[in-house]
Amino acid sequence: MPMGEALLVVDVQRGFCPGGALAVADGDAVVPVANRVARAFGEVVLTQDWHPADHLSFASQHPPRRPFETIEMPYGPQTLWPDHCVMGSADAEFHPGLDIPHAGLVIRKGRRREVDSYSAFLEADRRTPTGLAGWLRERGVGRVVILGLATDFCVAWSALDARMMGFQAAVVEDGCRGIDLDGSVARAWAQMSSAGVMRLVSSAFG
């Protein structure tokens, strides 16, 4: 495996920052970290949650269910979310402070109504690839460094899938914030550690 590096900046969008529809506590604190770390990378990929308004991960599509309850979908358990990051909406826009003009690819996740998508590599059905793995390999990338929102969902799923697909993976801890549903942040870190995901801090990149 070649050992070039790429930075994966996960879902740094208005919807996951204070004032957004699915705000992560202190989520906007990742913005200056992402901007600073990105300067150390020639290859940068951004991901963007991009849902139709009637996406089946939204609690509004399953009355009387409420956000953060869990239901069974054909592909397994699904956390129900507030309506968020609807395609074309202000909520789905990147945070206005995100300044990474040299990013070479944007992966839009969750476009299909019937399947949620946390990972930058595979949709939640665990069968549908995004094409990111091939894009990275064609550029000689063997190690993926990840930061963004949220630690316990899209960041962790992306890191675990990176490892599953044969990449080395590292997560920049101070470049992430979590939702933390019933201890989900601690569980995510434990799963990532078991999978061989490195845990870094942004000062490692200058």
Active-site amino acid positions:
11, 109, 154
61 within 8 A of 54, measured Cβ to Cβ: yes
110 within 8 A of 78, measured Cβ to Cβ: no
For residue 47, the SS3 value is strand
Q: How far apart are CA 111 and CA 56, in angstroms?
A: 11
DSSP-based helix, strand, coil % in the chain, nearest 5? 30, 25, 45
Angle between helices 156-164 and 184-194 (to 10 degrees): 20
DSSP E strands: which ranges in 110-180?
A: 141-149, 168-177
30 within 8 A of 149, measured Cβ to Cβ: yes
Give the helix/strand (H/E) hosting 105: strand 105-109
